[in-house]
Every structure is written in structure tokens, then in C-alpha cells.
Structure 1
């Protein structure tokens, strides 16, 4: 199978995401954007305030123990399964794993267990684009039609618009997009793995949602298209470009593109429970590579720690280039804006992700160099649970952050 096929995600998985199956999340198989912190959880009628109160009632404990107690409460109440890391300025404050990587084999999660990144992938795609810019191979104000001329109504959309979620191109779960995919699949000459030129054609008769640059709208299509641009400029598959230019130079040896997920060792299996009170765990098997440059990468806690530290150096990108990733470009709310692959709020950048079986979250304070990384292989933690946990950990770390 040709690994460089772009929009394998569009050509097949979106049809799956349009249908409701027992193994899909309630929100469908699309990647999640950052959720606002919710005031209470609907999981088994347990409120987040109850969990927070019990986990933080630990004044006599040291910071590590307080964090451990906080996360353990989420394990008890919400079946949290995965890995958590908290650090500051390169110093580890807390790292621990919870639950099983594989319940059938009774394999525990470890700090080197591989989890799907989901939408955390987007910051790596953004970094790849910025590497091409530093190399003089593109400019952010170049139009998308410079590389994809066949979609004429995309004239006026720039690479900057794709990066900042302000292009107006419809999201990957758009009704018309799904209809066009079904038309392709009804043609006996079309296989589920479409070539790039065929895949991009499904957008041809779909108008933009708004004028490019007019406003913010989260759309996975933006980052799928960026993946194609990376391939067309570099002349190599997306995954090979990231391997040669990001993962290998940084020593992220346990990160990659999930085209070979089925044969990966030391990986977590995504799962869910029908009820918190039942013991049976239902594994989720999915072709995660279909998410491509929008959400198809996998990683480990340890590799994401390496990634965090690299972004405070110039090992990968110049400091002025990294600053472009964090700059606020499109306003989401009174406080939050979208940069390039990051939600940004002052000196804080973060991103969440969700694919079938996996939830992820990375939170970073650029002034204090605080980082909170959470990877989970329990799909039941949708609905902002990881955001709430992140917020709880931030409160526990407030004193240290102020030091």
C-alpha cells in the first residue's frame, strides 16, 4: 500500500464517522478541539467538584503526593487510564501511569507506551510547514492554489489561513463532503484509497463557509490540506518528512505516523466501558492513519516531554519561528485564540485531541515553562474530563508556578 496517499482519511474514514457504531464516540470519529472547562461531569452523576474536593483535601502531603492523589481520584471516578507528566523548566515534578495498555494481555501502561496523539498532531504539522518556510521553500502568504490549482474557488486562501483555522474550508464531517465521498465510492473504478488528485476533487463543488481570514472555525480539512502541501513541496510522504526532519533530529524514537500502528509494539489499545460500574472493557480497533496530518500521529509521554523542551531551544526551529506558532491569529472567545496548531491565551498554549479510543491534552505555560501532558486510552473521558483534570493540576501547581 502506498503510504504517501493523502486524504486516505477523507476517502474512507469519514464514511465511517457518518454512521453511528457501538465502538464510536458520542461525538463521532472526528478529532476534538479544545473543550471549555465544564462545571460538572455527567459520568455516573459524579460532579467534578466532588472529585476535586476529595483529591485536593491533602494539605499534609507533598506536591507529588497531592498530584498523585488528584489523578488517582479520576482513575477511581472516571476510569482514567493512561499516563500523566508534570514538569517545569525541564525538571520533572510528577510522572506516573495508570490502567492497562492492553486489558486482554493484562499489560500495564508505562511512560514508553505509545498512544495516539489525535489533534495534538496539528502542532507537528504546523512545525513541518514552518521548517519548509525556514528553508525558503514556501511563504505563509502563498496561496493554497499555488500548490493545489485544481480547486479554483480556493483562490485567496493562504497557508496562514490553513494554519490558523481561518480558511473557510468546510470541516471533514461536512454533509456535502460526505455526499461527495459516497459518490466516489459508488464508482467501481474508485477504491477507498484515493490518489491525492482524486481525493482533493471532493471539495470542488463545496463553497467556503466564509471569506478567508474573516473568522475562526475549527476544521480538520485545513490540516489535511497542509499535509498534502508538505508532500508536494518536499517530494516525499508526510510521515517520512516528519521522521527525517522532526522525530529523528529530536530523538523522538517512539513517535511516528500510524500507518504501521497494527504492527507497533508497546502500544496502548483504546477502549471504553458501557458503564463505570461494570468490569467488562471493550477494545476499539481503528485505522488511525486515516486521520493523516490532522490527527494520525502516535507518541509517548517521554517523547512529548522531549518535544516540549525542544520548543524552548533552537534544535528544530528558530525562536522567532516558534513564536509564530504561539501568536494569536484568530479570536475564538474573549480570551482564547488560535495560533498555528495551538490554542493560545497570553503566555499559555495548549491543545486537546480525541480519536476513537484515545484522548490527549498538552498544556504549557511559556513564562514558567510549566508543562502538563496527559495521554489516555479510555475513550469514555470525552466531554472535557481531561480539561478538568488539567485545571485541577494547575491549581495544585499554582504555588510552585508563582515561585
Structure 2
């Protein structure tokens, strides 16, 4: 059986409470596998294809880090520039030494609006703040700007969505563009990612998968339209396809978005997260014996799952996007076993 057929058979037969629903693209110089599973719209029975757009959740933090690196490359900022020198916004309890580097690497210690170390239900946020009121990065500020620091900047790693909101605000301040406009012009257009964007949840374009939240029994479902912000931003929520993800990685790794020096800086493992997983600028880095194995972006929101990686040795791209509330890690692991044995 060919590898492509083995991958398809594995995914088709995978069933852990829910069958996989999403799109997969595996390739290096040549395409290894490309296909869709399940429905982009269950009510209308619209099937998923490789051209279906999915939410990215936190997977699009890498767009924010690329945007910041572009500004550093142009001399507008440095990685050591302090937050207090970038934004004319009051943060009464933030330490004055919080830098761009701290924000990029989740080592800033600034309070998070959704602290994944103590919170697990993203939907809980919108009981106090209506999700339809979150339309731009500044709309997040009241949720964290007056809170105390979590720890001293640079002392440890602690994943921070708010840190990336601040980075997006810096992009807007330094460029005079809205964050989505900047990314569309300086990342999506450059990489020819014509199916990607920051779309309103109540105004989704054609070929966009609805995100589904299934009941524990799996016999009932609802969409995620009331579960995430109206419009995505610097910390998450863009939409893309597996085909556009391949274009993005090719653009990044072939120095279309940044020169080699700043591409290397973005992909440097700066801080250890857990075991053999490190964090660069907006990207997770899997390592073994001081050697890089994979560059990874992943994310999850209610009804959204994404895992996109490039193997540093084999150069194999693996892009997996899903529109159900179930981990794709078993799919990632299973496909890796089929590819690498």
C-alpha cells in the first residue's frame, strides 16, 4: 500500500469519540497526501476539501512575530525596546523593563486575559464581556491592563495571549495600519495566501468551515459563533487553508518575509517550555540532544484545532486543520509513524 493510501486509511478509521473532521496536507518537494474529511457545514452537508478555510486559534501568533521581526529588521524597533516606550497606554502595575523579546517569548510576566495555567474554558470569558464586542486588539485591554504582574520579566516561561495582544498594538502604533491590514499586506500578499484573512464570525466567506462543539455523548452539536471573539487578532483567530499554510512556511523559510538573519532569530529556541519543547518567536520548536527536529505552530479554540509543522531534517511539511473540539495530536502522531516508521 502506498503511503498516501495508508494515511487516508488511518485517518478514515480514526475514531476517538468523534471521527476526524478537517483537512490534511503532507508534502516535501512533492505532495505526499492531500485531502479533506467530514463536513465544513453539517446542516448543508458541504464536504471539507484542501481549499476549505479553518480558524487558526493561536496558530497565527507566528504572523504577529513575523510582523514584529519585520519592524525590527527595518530599524523601527529592537527586541530590547521596552513596552513602555512603544505604547501610550496606561499599565499601572506593569514593570518598566518589559521588552519586545519578553512579549515574543512569553517571558514578560504581564497578566493574561485568558491564563491557560489556571483557566480551561475559553467560553467562560464571554459571560462578562460579550464576544461580539471584541473587534480589535484594543478591545482586549480592559480585561488585563490594570491587573498585577504574574512574575518578574525574563524569569520564566508562561504562555500569554495578552502579550501578543500588546505586540499587535505595537504593530498598529508603529505602522498606522490596523493589525489585520498589516498582516494582509506584508504576509498574506507576499506569500500569495489568497484564502487567508481575519474574517468576522458573522460574515464568513465561501469555503469556510464552521467550528463545531459536540456534546459529550456526541449526539448533539452547536457551532462556535458565540464561543470566540467576533474578529481574530494578534493572539489568534485568523482563518487559512492547509494550502496557504504551505505557502506561508515556504515564504518564511525561503526568506520572502524576512532576511536570513531575522528568519534565524525568529526560529531560535529561546526558552524551554517542557521536556524537549522550546519556544522561539511565535513558534514552538521540538528538539533532541540540542538538535532541532521540528518547527511547529498549533492552536485550539472551541471548535478549532490546528497543528502545522516542518521537519528540520526531512523538510516534510505536515499541515492539519480541524473544525471539531477534539485534539489532532493522535492524528499527527499516527501520520508521523506512517512516514518515519
Give the direction of change, closer, same or farther, for the CA distance of 1:96–1:76 in structure 2 (3 Å limit).
farther
CA RMSD in angstroms, aligned pairs only: 2.7
**Match in the other structure for 2:22:** 82
Unaligned runs of 5+ in 2: none
2:267 paired with 1:267? no
Out of 285, 308, 318, the residue aligned to residue 259 of structure 2 is 318
For residues 125 and 248 of structure 1, the distance between their equivalents in structure 2, rounded to whole angstroms, comes to 15
Give the direction of change, closer, same or farther, for the CA distance of 1:302–1:67 in structure 2 (3 Å limit).
same
Note the alpha carbon deviations across 1:114-157, whole angstroms, 9 max, x for none.
10011111011111111111111111110011112532533101
For residues 224 and 386 of structure 1, the distance between their equivalents in structure 2, rounded to whole angstroms, comes to 26
2:52 paired with 1:106? no
Spell out the pairing of 1:2-401 with structure 2 (5 A cutoff): 61-74=1-14, 78-88=18-28, 90-149=29-88, 150-151=90-91, 153-173=94-114, 192=133, 200=141, 203-259=144-200, 262-275=203-216, 278=219, 280-286=220-226, 288-346=229-287, 347=292, 348-379=294-325, 381=326, 385-398=327-340
TM-score (norm 2): 0.87
For residues 315 and 358 of structure 1, the distance between their equivalents in structure 2, rounded to whole angstroms, comes to 28
The structural deviation recorded for 1:75 is 5.2
Q: How many residues align?
A: 325
For residues 218 and 294 of structure 1, the distance between their equivalents in structure 2, rounded to whole angstroms, comes to 11
* C-alpha contact 2:65 2:104 (8 A) present in aligned 1: yes
For residues 359 and 199 of structure 1, the distance between their equivalents in structure 2, rounded to whole angstroms, comes to 22
Note the alpha carbon deviations across 1:309-344, whole angstroms, 9 max, x for none.
112212111122111122111111231111111111
The structural deviation recorded for 1:199 is 5.4
Higher strand content, 1 or 2: 2
* C-alpha contact 2:23 2:50 (8 A) present in aligned 1: yes
* C-alpha contact 1:257 1:289 (8 A) present in aligned 2: no
* C-alpha contact 1:144 1:154 (8 A) present in aligned 2: no
* C-alpha contact 2:194 2:244 (8 A) present in aligned 1: yes
TM-score (norm 1): 0.74
* C-alpha contact 2:213 2:302 (8 A) present in aligned 1: no
